[in-house]
A = this chain, B = another copy of it.
């Protein structure tokens, strides 16, 4: 597997693409260029780390459209938007939709690199969090329906006795489910279990 982050450059103007590619190369960053949003989407692979430099105005899918599509993905590279003729509402929309930056052309090379580095760091961070989450989600999915019920009761702080009477089963059964839950979730302590339940948003 290749862990090295890439800068994905999506712009319909060739000179911009090569200028950005060159800029990235100059600091040892790998880059991949695409001349349209669709072309990027076609090869999109959620597992590839990096960040995205995206032009707003392009034939076909616009940059903001692409941003919208990516927003539906579980994880995607942080997006830096560049534009030749941006207006304020467009910038506000892009940033509130989660873009890490919105930069007007012509941009300053150094500040672009700063932004790229920050975005790549952010990507690495959220990618780490996401992989932990997926681990835990996998374990949770392995629980049987009954075990999930018991888990919910446990994180609500209910005693085994209470759980048993609420579920109309014996305390022994609750204990059996509970120990299965701990085993399957790989939790050593109740607080482990609570921390995982947090990630899974079973709490609050």
A interface, CB within 8 angstroms of B: 86-89, 91-92, 95-96, 101-102, 104, 154-158, 188-192, 194-195, 198, 203-204
Contact = CB atoms under 8 A, between A and B. Distances in A.
Chain copies in complex: 2
Given A157-B191, A194-B191, A101 B92 contact: yes
Contact of A95 (B95, B158, B194, B195): B95
A48 to B, nearest CB: 26
A204 B88 CA distance: 38
A104 B198 CA distance: 40
A96 B94 CA distance: 11
Contacts of A92: 91, 95, 101-102
